[in-house]
Amino acid sequence: MSRPRQGPDVGISSGIIMLLTVRAESAPLIDFLRTGLAPEGVRVRSIAPDAPAPIEGGALLTTDPEEPGRVPHLCAVLLLDRDTPTPKGRDAPPVLRMPFSLGALCDVLRAAGCHPLAGPNTLAAGELTLALDTGRVTRDYGILALHPQERYLLERLLRQPGRVLHRADIGPWCFDYEAPPRPGQIDVLVSRLRRRLDRNFERPMLHTMRGVGYVLHP
């Protein structure tokens, strides 16, 4: 039986992602996005859009150099506080509640038809696969049910199989930017994912590099 093929490369090279916020002070958000997305080749710029109230600012995410004469596809996401009502109407943009993790942001962008990170649509390491568009995770063709935080962590590991994912790089992708992980929370998250991945299998895939981070061995 053949292994699943990886999907085609996808990215935001033909588009622009605009994140709009109702907060007047968005500097912490911009810093969070830059810190987390710059290593992925995504440029983040602060914007003050010419839009009706209550929009106060936001961020523009791009990966490719601007090309004269090209009209890019625009993808907009509205960032709202938890107690702000969701806009209604067929033309209302997708909504993401603040604060959020980078993993949650990527989920919303993919659902809206934008792919914030370049790369295959299906990540795989050996018999383990993750379909980014559906969130479906399988090992040896059996479906694994993961919590969103566990899936965000698995995505980071699958983007660099065989290489160490440092502990400091886990927080922004799995935890809200206004509530960084407390001592022990990353260990608990990794333990949960390890149980999901390696339970019922003789060969473990997720390994701890003490004092450094974690590595996924295909």
Who contacts 113 (Cβ-Cβ below 8 Å, separation ≥6)?
A: 75
Give the pairing type, strands 122-125 and 9-10.
Answer: unpaired
pLDDT digits (tens, 9 = 90+) for 90-117: 778 889 999 999 999 999 988 887 776 7
Model confidence at 14: pLDDT above 50: no
For helices 148-158 and 102-111, angle between their N-to-C axes, nearest 10 degrees: 90
Model confidence at 13: pLDDT above 60: no
Task: Return the exposure string of 163-198: e unless at least 16 CB atoms fall within 10 Å of the residue's CB, then b.
Answer: ebbebeebbbbbbbbeeebeeebbeebbeebbebbe
Model confidence at 9: pLDDT above 80: no
Q: What is the mean pLDDT of residues 211-216?
A: 94
| Amino acid at position 212, single letter | V
Q: How far apart are CA 83 and CA 150, in angstroms?
A: 26
Domain boundaries, the chain: 9-111, 121-216
What pLDDT is recorded for position 172? 93
pLDDT digits (tens, 9 = 90+) for 23-55: 656 778 888 998 888 888 788 888 765 555 555
**Closest of 54, 53, 35 to residue 43, by C-alpha:** 35
What pLDDT is recorded for position 28? 84
Q: What is the mean pLDDT of residues 111-124?
A: 81
pLDDT digits (tens, 9 = 90+) for 138-196: 999 999 999 999 999 999 999 999 999 999 999 999 999 888 898 899 999 999 999 99
Model confidence at 126: pLDDT above 90: yes
Domain 121-216, CATH:
1.10.10.10
Task: Give 144-148's long-range contacts (Cβ < 8 A, gap of 24+).
Answer: 144/196, 144/197, 145/196, 146/193, 146/196, 147/192, 148/103, 148/104, 148/107
What pLDDT is recorded for position 5? 38
Residue whose tokens read 């290593």: 39
| Amino acid at position 101, single letter | S
In the beta sheet, which residues pair with residue 166?
213
What pLDDT is recorded for position 8? 36
Q: How far apart are CA 107 and CA 135, in angstroms?
A: 9
What pLDDT is recorded for position 4? 39
Model confidence at 74: pLDDT above 90: no
| Amino acid at position 49, single letter | P
Residue 179 in tokens: 């509530």
Structure pTM? Answer: 0.83
Model confidence at 63: pLDDT above 70: no
